[in-house]
Structure formats: C-alpha cells, structure tokens
Amino acid sequence: MLPAGRRSHTNELSKSWEFAGWGTAEHIDDLGDKPVTMNPLDSGPVHKLGQWKATAICGNDITSSCLYVVALCAMYAGPYAPLALAAVAGVLFLFRNIYAEVGSALPLNGGAYNVLLNTTTKAKASIAACLTLLSYLATAVISAYEAMRYAHNLNAGLNVFWATIVLLGFFALLNLIGISESATVAVGLFTFHMTVLSALVLMAGWAVARNPAQLLANWHTPGQYNLPLAIFFGFSAAMLGISGFESSANFIEEQEDGVFPKTLRNMWIAVAFFNPVLSLLAMGLVPVGLMGEHKEDLLAQMGLLCGGTWFRAIVSVDAVLVLSGAVLTAYVGVTGLVRRMTLDRCLPQFLLAENRLRRTNHWIILLFFAVCSSIMISTGGEIEALAGVYTLSFLGVMILFAIGNMLLKVERGRLPRAVRASWGSVIIALIAVALGLIGNLLLNPSYVKIFAIYCFATGLIISGMLLRLEILKVLLAGSNAVVSSIEGVNRRIRIGLVRGIRRLNRFQVIYFVKGDDLPTLNRAVLYVLQNESSRRLRVVHCYARVEDIPSTLIEHLKTVDRIYPRIRIDLLLIKGCFGPELIEKISQRLGVPKNYMFISTPGDHFPHKLGDLGGVRLVM
C-alpha cells in the first residue's frame, strides 16, 4: 500500500463512495515479447486517404460557397466585392499555417476541440465541440436544401422538402458503407465542380473581354455604403466563403502522413482563385443592383448570359452535385468529431458501436440524419433561421482554433511540430475573423437569439455528460431528502445511485511519469480531478534497470495520495522502453483506452511522434 496507515471513514452507504481507497504499488517485469497490433485511437480498420480524396471531401464544402457568397458579398460591398473576397482569401492564407501547426503537433481528429482539449480543460474544449457540431448540422441541412432548390429549377415537379430528406438519407447510407467509398464519390463531385467552374471562368471572361460595358457601369454605380463600410460588410459576408476549411482537421487521422497540409493548400488555392475571379466576372455580366435577386442562382444566371440555356443547365447540375458533396463533408466531419468526443466520454458510449459488415459507427450517422430530418420537419422546410447558426458557429470555431494555436505555443511550446505560424499572423487572423463575426452580428442581429437556442440545447447534452457524476450525487442527496420516510424505496434508490457513482469512479486513467517531481505529480492529480469522472489514477513509470527508478517516487505519491482521499493513486512500475508498442500492451492488459493515458509535453528530443502514440493526451 502506498500510505503508511489507514484513514478512518464512515461506513454509511451514502458516504462510503466519497473515499476512493488507498493506492498500491505494483511491479511488472515482463509485458511479454509477443508482437502486438498497433491499434489507433479509433478502433476498426483505418482507411487512409490520399491527397485528392481528402481534398475532395472538404473541398466540396468550401468550394460550394461560391454559389452563394459571390452574390451575398456584392449585396453589401457593391463593386468592391472582388476586393472583399480577395481580403478573405488573404485571411485564409494565414489560417493555412495556423491549422498546419496544430495538425503537425496534435495529429488527432477533433479540430478545435482537439487542440483545446490538449491545452486547456475538457469543459473549455467542449465549447469548441458544440460550435463545430452546430456548424456541421447547419451545413448538412442548408446544403441539402439548397441542392434540391437548384434541382427544382431543373425539374419544377420536384418536392424540395421531401427531396432534401431523401438526399440526407442517401448520404447517411453512403457513410454507413464507409469513408473510402464516400471519398470516391467526393472525388467525382469535386472534379466535375472544378471543371464546370473553370469553364464558367473561361466563357464569362471571354464575354466580358468582348464587351466590358457592364463591368464599367457597375464600377461607377454607387453602393449603399461608403468605401470603408462597403469593404467591411462585404468582407464580413464573404467570410462564409471559407466555411468548410475546418473540416479537414476533423478527420486528420484518416489521412496519410503529410496529406493534411496539402488539403489546406489545395482548398486555399481554389478559394483564392475562384471566389474573387467569379465575383469580378459577375460584375461584368449582371447589374450590381440585380445581384440580390439572383442570390440563390447567380452563377447559373452567369452561365445563361455567357453560354445560353444549355450552359445554365450544366451550372445548375453542378450546383446540385457540389452542394450534395457538402452534405457528405458534414457527415464525415461530424463522425470523426463525435467519435473522438465519445472516446473522451463527453457523449454516451453507445455511439461507439460499429456495424459488423463495414465497421462504421452507425449510431452516430443515423442520429445525425435523424436530427437533420427533424429540423426539416419541425421548421416545415423554412430553414432560413439556420443561417445564423451556420454563420456564428463557423466563425466561432475559427476564432477558437486561432486561440488554440496560441495556447499550443504557450502551454505546449516544447511539443515538436513541422510547421510554425508566427505570432503576428495568428493575431492578425484572429482579429480578422473577430471583425467578420462583429460585421455579421451588425448585419443580422437576430442571429444571436437563434444561435443561442441551438447552442444551449447542444451544450446541455454535453454538460450533462461532463457533470454526470455531480448529477448522480445531487440525485442521491435528493433521494435522502424527498423519500426518507419510505425507507425501502429510498434504500433501493440510494443503492442504484451509489452503484452508478462507483461505476464511474472505477474507470481508471493512466499518467506516464518520467521522474519524481512532486509539483508535477500534484498537477497531474489535479487535472484528473478537475476534468475526469474517474477517481482512480494509475501512475506508470517505465524503467530499464531497477536502480533507474527515481528514489523518492513512491514517497511523493504517498504524499499526494494522502492529500486527495477522493482519488485512488496506484503506482505501476514497468520494465520496458516507453513507446507506441509498450503503450499498446498496457492498454490491452489493463483495458484502458489510449485517450485516457496522459503524458507531460515532450521536448524536441522525444523519439516518437505524438500521433504514433495512438491518442495519448497532453495534460501539462
């Protein structure tokens, strides 16, 4: 036993679970020489995506924005819309390194949630998770609905409402089949979209070059705002043109090594070219005052003016397909994020269930489809209110990602990374997105109320999971107060609640320690108490020779164990070299998921990549 003596504690049923028990010390001299299969954090077969499949999945989302952002930006910026869209492309250029730095340092699914989880607390990281989930929810519903509205233009007999639900169901089925198959479909959609946009640029460019009169007329048309305000509001509206950029970070584990920064580069190139160029060409074809009337089909109207009805039909078909691709992106992104959150016990564990045939997480996919469909049904297809959720949640995620990058620099400065974004670029990018958020709030103040409702509902579910231990304790206290007069019923309720508390407390977490520094051990214990439901911590020290074991490690753990009677601290001394294989063996032997194994921030000479450790978390 770690402590020298025993603490007296009450044996009353309602109090016994408050004392976690004294820790023990144990040696494991041999974990076995049998090779182990290195399983990633996410169980099941890993489908590694190459550059173009990964780019296509997130690229369909971000490049579909040109279908609406060109007209939306022109409504506020007038003839200065191309400048506003170019400014947004400049901000996105800064975010390339911001995302790449985080992805190279913490190559795990989850995006903003992942970086905040490894630099702050689980509760703060859950804020980013809420915003990301809302962003994907709004993306799926809006993209599916707009795709079917374009399809309605091609076939007037199409019922947009039910067609939207069918489209959502189709992509749910596609994701149930598997991500590799989904990516193949995404590549086809992305290739067709890039081809159509390129053809539109060439044909519209030729038409404008032959007759630049409309371009000159629009340039001299006075807008509703002066130049600074026109650029500001146009920039704010144009920020929606980069929605989807965060998606790649949410399935980074499914990408081959080195692919993630390439997806960021490819998305930036597409947005930086097509959005400003299409905006400029739109100024040469359509009167700026009429662009608001074509805000839902401006590109199709451009196709009509420069190529005729046949080309307008092609652009409309492309719109249907690429907006459908954005629905696919939402499914892929939300599956990666929800799975990661479930592994971290922020969401119910049944979501990790996999179907036997394709090893995909059917409950995540089906529930996402059900929520999207319920929104369509409850609103009767009037989904304009989701625009506010879409805007604020996406911009909020971008802000939190920039903050997460800053925290990574400060709190995990020693963590190796292949890319580093300068402090100046991060600060400028953060300010730019914050200004875009302010601009959208000024343009649409009603967004706040709608966004708050959706955010509260999502946050309530996650908060319930994070606080489930406290909730059980409150229920236990309530059972004593409310039904104390009915002893039999009260006892059964108390027994059930105590069992639930003990079940949560028994779940163990592991902290790998290199030395015997007392403040470091104390901070590790405090992190577990503040962020996890578990009340059992196993401190693991790996050694090559017995004489290498820190001499005061046991004594210091005794001290910490006495200070915090609410948590049991066990010491496990393992003969072996710390690394991915040893972590896998410990995980399999002790039954502890690797995302519930913690380490302090490694230095530049750490021999392993963090991503190779299978999801081990940084806590200090």
Asked whether the predicted pLDDT for residue 382 surpasses 60, the reply is yes
Q: What is the mean pLDDT of residues 372-391?
A: 77
Q: Pick from 571, 596, 584, 367: which is nearest to 461 by CA?
A: 367
Q: What are the tokens at 289?
A: 């005052």
Give the pLDDT mean for 587-610.
Answer: 77
Q: What is the C-alpha separation between 523 and 480, in angstroms, rounded?
A: 35
Q: What percentage of the chain has pLDDT greater than the value 90?
A: 20
Tens of pLDDT, residue by residue over 538-577, are 888 888 888 778 878 888 888 888 888 778 888 888 888 8
- Both structure tokens of 301: 């109207």
Among 12-26, 137-151, 317-331, 579-593, name the one with the lowest average pLDDT.
12-26
**pLDDT tops 50 at residue 593:** yes
Q: Is the pLDDT of residue 272 over 60?
A: yes
Res 613: pLDDT? 75
Q: Which residue has the higher pLDDT, 577 or 2?
A: 577
Q: Are 113 and 393 in contact (CB under 8 A)?
A: no
Q: What is the average per-residue pLDDT within 205-217? A: 91
The least confident of 273-277, 333-337, 449-453, 459-463 is 459-463
Lowest mean pLDDT among 162-176, 263-277, 399-413, 517-531: 517-531
More confident residue, 402 or 183: 402
- Its pTM stands at 0.76
Residue 23 confidence (pLDDT): 63
Strand order in 25-28's β-sheet?
25-28, 568-575, 536-543, 508-512, 597-599, 617-618
- How far is 24 from 2, CA to CA, in rounded Å? 5
Decide if pLDDT at 408 tops 80. Answer: yes
pLDDT band for 469, please (50, 70, 90 cuts): low
Average pLDDT over residues 224-244: 87
Taking residue 432's Cβ as centre, other Cβ atoms within 10 Å add up to: 21
What pLDDT score does 499 carry?
63
What integer is the mean pLDDT of 46-72? 84
403: pLDDT strictly greater than 90:
yes
The set of residues, in sequence order, having a beta carbon less than 8 Å from that of 244 and lying 6+ positions away, is 58, 59, 60, 61, 62, 63, 64, 65, 139, 267, 326, 329
**What integer pLDDT is reported at residue 589 of this predicted model?**
81
Instruction: Name 510's bridge partners.
Output: 538, 597
Has residue 19 got a pLDDT over 70?
no
Token pair of 333, please? 């992104």
- Classify 28 as helix, strand or coil: strand
Sequence length of the chain is: 620
* Per-residue confidence (pLDDT) for residue 45, from 0 to 100: 41
- pLDDT reading at 350 higher than 60: yes
**Residue predicted with more confidence, 521 or 204:** 204
Residue range 206-221: mean pLDDT, rounded: 90
Q: List pLDDT tens digits, range 77-110.
A: 888 999 999 999 999 999 999 999 988 888 877 7
Task: Give the model's pLDDT for residue 3.
Answer: 46
Q: pLDDT digit string (tens) for 173-184?
A: 888 887 666 778
- Identify the residue with better confidence: 197 or 602: 197
Q: What is the dihedral of CA 48, 114, 504, 38, to 10 degrees?
A: 30
Residue 33 pLDDT more than 80? no
Q: How far apart are CA 111 and CA 308, in angstroms?
A: 43
Report the C-alpha gap between 213 and 590 in whole angstroms. 74
The residue-averaged pLDDT of 275-299 equals 87
Percent of the chain, pLDDT > 70?
Answer: 83
**Confidence tier at 17 by pLDDT (50, 70, 90):** very low
Is residue 537 classed as helix, strand or coil in its secondary structure?
strand
| Report for 295-304, 524-533, 606-615: range of highest mean pLDDT | 295-304
Helix axes 259-285 and 51-63, enclosed angle (nearest 10): 30
Mean pLDDT (the chain, rounded): 80
**Residue in this structure with the two tokens 């592994």, named with its chain if needed:** 343
Alpha helices in 255-348 (DSSP H): 259-285, 298-307, 309-343
pLDDT tens column, 119-173: 888 778 888 888 888 888 888 888 888 888 888 878 888 888 899 999 999 888 8
d(CA 358, CA 173): 11
What is the Rg, in whole angstroms, of the alpha carbon atoms belonging to the chain?
A: 27
pLDDT at 42: 46
- The region of weakest confidence among 145-159, 335-349, 365-379, 427-441 is 335-349
| pLDDT tens column, 184-195 | 888 888 999 999
> Is residue 474 scored above 70 in pLDDT?
no
Q: Do the beta carbons of residue 57 and residue 247 sit within 8 Å? A: yes
pLDDT of 197 > 90? The answer is: yes
- CA torsion 314→320→326→330, rounded to 10°? -160
